[in-house]
A and B are shown apart, each in its own frame.
Chain A
Amino acid sequence: MIWQLDIILLIIVVICALAAISVKDLLSSAILFGAYSFLLCLVWAEMGAVDVAFTEATVGAGISTAFFIGAIYHTSRRTKD
């Protein structure tokens, strides 16, 4: 537990989350969501919850990004709102 590393990782996680919900391009949003999942995985691993970090890395960063990209190809790439 290094609290400086915790603070830095949490700041990047929040930046990634805000970017993922505010960007207009849906493909960029999916990729930013993958980056958010991977950084959250680093936070879990740094806090000592290795099993949770493993699940986050496989499901959050690996599988769900592929699902999102598969879904985006069936809709328009840019958001309307």
Chain B
Amino acid sequence: MIRDFEGVIIKTVCRAVTPFIQLYGLYVIAHGHYSPGGGFQGGCILAASLILMALAYDIKEVKKQLSEKLNTIFCSLGVIIYAGIGLLCLILGANYLDYGILYKILPVDAAHARSLGILGVEIGVGFTVMAVMISIFLNIASGGQHEEGEER
């Protein structure tokens, strides 16, 4: 689907605007627990920046920056962070994902520990959503081949 596209303006603008989109995505994830946004939306914005690179350049360019192996690692890393924080609360003697108990291992009080716990969960959700969205787009766009140039 996506061939290398001969357009200097489009390529340069997309390459220049990508870091700002990623910075915005990180802002949305980091402020997810007290303003609109969160892990899911921030992960989608991070994925959209790399999808923009795939549309302006080609799939090879995206895989140069985020290889398939690293993408799969990110996919499971987010789930591990989410489930790990939940299990940590369970080990410390509270319910699953009851972040208040985390004050036992963090140098803060219970209310602040709750805020940090939800931040950790948002980061995990952001990792997984970003990796899965990029993976879905690459699979749809290349017909599951993950190769670019020769198909069609």
Contacts and interface: CB of A to CB of B under 8 A. Distances in A.
A63 B44 contact: yes
Interface residues of B, number: 19
B44 A62 contact: yes
Contacts of A74: 1, 140, 143
Contacts, number: 44
B41 A70 contact: no
Interface stretch (B6-14, B47-55, B101-109): B47-55
B103 to A, nearest CB: 28
Contacts of B143: 74
B133 to A, nearest CB: 6
Contact of A54 (B37, B133, B136): B37
A5 interface: no
Contacts of A73: 1, 141
Interface in A14-31: none
A51 interface: yes
A55 B40 CA distance: 8
Interface of A: 50-51, 53-55, 58-59, 62-63, 66-67, 70-71, 73-74
Interface of B: 1, 28, 36-38, 40-41, 44-45, 47-48, 51, 55, 133, 136-137, 140-141, 143
